[in-house]
Chain A
Amino acid sequence: MSVKVALVGNVDHGKSTVIGRLLADTGQTREEREARVRSYCESANRKFEYAFLLDALEEEQAQGITIDVTEVQWRHGGRDFLFVDTPGHREFLKKMVGGASSVDAAVLVLDAVEGISENFRRQIRVLELLGIRQRIVIINKMDLVDWSESTWRARESEILACLPGGKTQTMVIPVAAWEGANLLERSAKMPWYKGPTLGEALLSLESAPSLGEKPLRFFVQDIYRRGEKRIFVGRVEAGTLSAGSEIQFEPGGRRSRVRSIEGETGQAPLAHAESGDAVGLTLEDQLFLERGNLGFSPTHPPRENSRLKADLFWLHSEPLRPAQKLLIKNGTQNGVATVEAIEHAFDADSWEKQEGATSLVLFGRVLLRFEKPFYFDFFDDCEPLGRFVACADGRVLGGGRWVRETNLSPGKSDVSLAEREKRARHRSTVLWLTGLSGSGKTTLARNLERRLFDRGLNPTVLDGDNVRQTICSDLGFSISDRDENLRRVAEMARLMSDAGLFVITAFISPLHAQRARAREIVGTERFVEIFVDCSLEECERRDVKGLYRRARSGEIPEFTGISSAFEAPARPDVHLRSGELSVEQCLDRLIQLVDARTTTPASSGAGRN
């Protein structure tokens, strides 16, 4: 499927030029549009502006800036891309947030001459808060710095220092967009650059995962009568639907079975419908349903609550304040809610998190109280029901995601996180190692612990050995006990990290949902998912503890990889192919990551080249 990519960066750093040039180089612009831009540029005595292929409004061309978001299709290497060109001007930051809110990836464009500005940092933060984790950075206008490798390196380290995850998850590409250098063709002027071109980097992006495996969610949009039939139309938000499926609707708890999924007039009904399909259902029983009712399989119900916490972005020029009423929309479900409290907000200038802020300008966490229960899922369980659009006075003013409630509000400490991080000399971090039994998690964790300790940090490792015999000694190995074990590990990791320790955990943690919950508990900013990836064959061949042999003989039931699934992370922060790399190579990559999160050099350089 297609990949939706936002172009983000300061005004004038060349976002529209990048897209214009990609379109032109692949013959995807229209001749007369190109001719018109050419004749205009010639008459205005300026070089050809690729950006004008996109910035179509008169004001945009006159001022040389992008005012409104433009969406442009681009086909390359057999894949579809949808570029979202966002305005870079500070005045239009809210338009950038709106445009970037639904993308799969971002390309950050940085001017090699100007380097990082406050506005650019703000945009990086926006991507982080929107949860956009696939990123490509291009250092543009390399022609203006004489194709200098040292300038590129300087910009690269500047930018990596302010990106979470640093080098391990971000490609940084030197380009000259106007000339097309390193966009699709490798530039001979930068022979020192060995990494991917922008075109190659774009092809490595992943599109949004399919929602077919998720539980069924179907919102009733309308009810049509056609002859004797009552047809319930709506969209399958997630999961799949078949004739004969049992379906329950909330509110009201009424159940029936799907009699048919209506086809086109005069044609046979459909056997199945998938997520994204706008369908019409008939049911076996006469149910009274209304627009906004939510249909689901009785075995996988959604959640419902009247008080919900959300991470919110706010696009209105007036800040959001407590007691404000909002209309919360998800699918066709509408709910009226009041902002009961603002838990924290990010200051629009410093981007510091402010606990107990009295207003929310752009990003923050709020507690909403609904007039009636609202039906939802958490984002990691089912994306489409995990998010919402917020309206007031009939206008769409923001959006957000539901946040898992951590019931006990931890007692407030007088020592702030920033103070702790300063003393600990690293950003609070939990390295969460996941992988099959025998893939090398514990070995890596223990070796890394030694290295970090030698550099003067305070690392600690949580693994099966120390947890199972202590705080989790009451747990067995049933599915639910394994799940609880991981929940406690995440909570402990969070507390230890709060205390300033650099935490490394080594647990198989086989399921997406388990890792997503751990991320939720620990906090996205400090959680780094590391996939220690070694093939089952290799792990089984190593079989250090003899567990695979026992699992094969049936002695250990539900053993991950043998008789129980391992859901490989789709987008880990770091992907370590431990079957192919040596322990030293793996450690080097982890050390790079630690470096990016360390605020001051942790050692005098021992062991570094």
Chain B
Amino acid sequence: MDSENPAASALTAEESARLRKLENESIYVLREAFRLFPGLAMLWSMGKDSTLMLTLARKAFFGVIPFPVVHIDTSYKIPEMIRFRDEKAKEWALDLRIGQNRAALTAGMNPEKGRLECCTALKTDALKSFLREQGFRTVLAAIRRDEEGSRGKERIFSPRGEGSTWNYKEQPPEFWNGYQTEFSETTEVRVHPLLNWSELDVWLYTREKNIPTLGLYYARNGQRYRSVGCAPCSGTVSSKAADIDAVIRELRTTRTGERSGRAQDKADRYAMQKLRAKGYM
């Protein structure tokens, strides 16, 4: 059936128009961020979204990414991700900076101490102190609205308050491509160039542009990762999708959520909102 169905291998006119619009919006936002925010860095987790963002940045800046790329290493990442990171960083000549909360790790922080606590210490706190230490005031993060409820409420240019907090009740309006880009010297800003992409859009574009992806996304022994993070908190979903075409076919019909394998989301009903209010991506 799949070979009969053009949608399985080709883009529909609607999809192709949508991807073009999304791609151009993202490139415009990346260039705005670079032009208007000194102290800019991009967060890269090696996942499909941030790798797509990195690819768009290479396109936006004609091959050379003119700012550092940051990876927050919790030390719990899956080894394949670290191999992928080091290989691509070299191939794409990235100015890669790796941050880690060594103090917390030395003190023995791990998921057993509580998933929200672990995430806050090894990701959020590590990120905040690394940004401060390196003098980055603005970070590009590849979050998307459709991933999770509280991200649906985000802005493309999203200011943070004291201690990177997210005041989700008082966000600047965004319309007509007129973003709020003037902030005080001390305001930390998260920029979200992929906010309007859906999971399917990301995969369709990844296939169109032949963007490299982690092997973890493809089924082995009936299991694959929909979303990758730290080994202890990233679960797999059952799936037969062993290549990108199969992943796209699966996404066109599945009703399982992208972050269903993520343990930290389930620690509390508003876990993500709470993590994010404190400065999580």
Please, which residues of chain A bring their CB within 8 A of the CB of B62?
Answer: 224, 226, 231, 262, 265, 280
Please, which residues of chain B bring their CB within 8 A of the CB of A40?
Answer: 269
Q: Is B111 an interface residue (CB 8 A)?
A: no
- Interface residue stretch chosen among A64-72, A159-167, A421-429: A64-72
* Contact in complex: A265, B173 (CB < 8 Å): no
Contact of A31 among B28, B149, B257 (CB under 8 A): B257
Query: Bound state CA distance, A264 and B171, in angstroms?
Result: 35
Q: Is A58 an interface residue (CB 8 A)?
A: yes
Q: Is A482 an interface residue (CB 8 A)?
A: no
Give chain B's interface residue range (CB within 8 Å of chain A): 35 or more
Query: Which residues from 172 to 211 on chain B have a C-beta closer than 8 Å to any C-beta of chain A?
Result: 172-180, 182-184, 196, 198
The residue of chain B having its C-beta at the shortest distance from the C-beta of A237 within the complex is B177
CB distance from A385 to the nearest CB of B (A): 11
Given contacts A57-B150, A98-B173, A221-B35, whether A27 and B24 have CB atoms under 8 Å apart is no
Q: Is A258 an interface residue (CB 8 A)?
A: no
Please, which residues of chain B bring their CB within 8 A of the CB of A226?
Answer: 62-64
- Interface residue stretch chosen among A301-309, A360-368, A391-399, A533-541: A391-399
* Contact in complex: B172, A30 (CB < 8 Å): no
Please, which residues of chain B bring their CB within 8 A of the CB of A56?
Answer: 148-150, 152-153, 273
The residue of chain A having its C-beta at the shortest distance from the C-beta of B274 within the complex is A58
Bitwise, B53-75 to A at CB < 8 A (1) or not (0) is 00000111111100000000000
Bitwise, A68-88 to B at CB < 8 A (1) or not (0) is 111111000011100000000
* Contact in complex: A222, B175 (CB < 8 Å): no
Contact of A396 among B14, B174, B196 (CB under 8 A): B174
* Contact in complex: A394, B180 (CB < 8 Å): yes
Query: Which residues from 88 to 131 on chain A have a C-beta closer than 8 Å to any C-beta of chain B?
Result: 95, 98-99, 101-102
* Contact in complex: B31, A222 (CB < 8 Å): yes
Q: Is B21 an interface residue (CB 8 A)?
A: yes
Q: Is A2 an interface residue (CB 8 A)?
A: yes
Query: Bound state CA distance, A508 and B218, in angstroms?
Result: 62
Please, which residues of chain A bring their CB within 8 A of the CB of B63?
Answer: 226, 265-266
Q: Is B145 an interface residue (CB 8 A)?
A: yes
* Contact in complex: B17, A57 (CB < 8 Å): no
Q: Is B32 an interface residue (CB 8 A)?
A: yes
Contact of B182 among A98, A278, A391 (CB under 8 A): A391
Bitwise, B247-258 to A at CB < 8 A (1) or not (0) is 000000001111
Query: Bound state CA distance, A103 and B62, in angstroms?
Result: 33
Please, which residues of chain B bring their CB within 8 A of the CB of A235?
Answer: 24, 28, 177
CB distance from A400 to the nearest CB of B (A): 10
Q: Is B132 an interface residue (CB 8 A)?
A: no
Query: Bound state CA distance, A58 and B153, in angstroms?
Result: 12
* Contact in complex: A30, B257 (CB < 8 Å): yes
Contact of A102 among B31, B149, B175, B270 (CB under 8 A): B175
* Contact in complex: A79, B28 (CB < 8 Å): no
The secondary-structure label for the interface of chain A is: mixed
Given contacts A2-B18, A30-B256, A31-B257, whether A396 and B152 have CB atoms under 8 Å apart is no
Please, which residues of chain A bring their CB within 8 A of the CB of B179?
Answer: 396
Please, which residues of chain B bring their CB within 8 A of the CB of A395?
Answer: 172, 180, 182
Q: Is A250 an interface residue (CB 8 A)?
A: no
Bitwise, A360-400 to B at CB < 8 A (1) or not (0) is 00000000000000000000000010011101001110010
* Contact in complex: B150, A264 (CB < 8 Å): no
CB distance from A390 to the nearest CB of B (A): 9
CB distance from A303 to the nearest CB of B (A): 19
Q: Is A7 an interface residue (CB 8 A)?
A: no
The residue of chain B having its C-beta at the shortest distance from the C-beta of A55 within the complex is B149
Given contacts A221-B32, A276-B21, whether A394 and B182 have CB atoms under 8 Å apart is yes
Query: Bound state CA distance, A2 and B148, in angstroms?
Result: 22
Q: Is B27 an interface residue (CB 8 A)?
A: yes
Query: Bound state CA distance, A79 and B173, in angstroms?
Result: 27
Q: Is B165 an interface residue (CB 8 A)?
A: no
Q: Is B146 an interface residue (CB 8 A)?
A: yes
Task: Knowing that A226-B64, A291-B35, A388-B178 touch, tell me 17 more A-B residue pairs with CB under 8 angstroms.
Answer: A27-B255, A32-B256, A56-B150, A56-B153, A57-B168, A68-B169, A72-B152, A73-B198, A79-B14, A80-B18, A226-B62, A226-B63, A265-B62, A265-B63, A276-B21, A329-B178, A389-B178
11 A–B contacts, CB within 8 A, in A order? A31-B260, A70-B153, A80-B18, A98-B173, A101-B176, A235-B24, A264-B59, A276-B20, A291-B35, A391-B182, A396-B174
Interface residues of B (CB under 8 A from A): 12, 14, 17-18, 20-21, 24-25, 27-28, 31-32, 34-35, 58-64, 145-146, 148-150, 152-153, 168-169, 171-180, 182-184, 196, 198, 255-258, 260, 269-270, 273
In the A-B complex, the 7 residue pairs with the smallest Cβ-Cβ separation, listed nearest first, are A56-B149, A389-B178, A98-B173, A394-B182, A30-B257, A265-B63, A278-B27
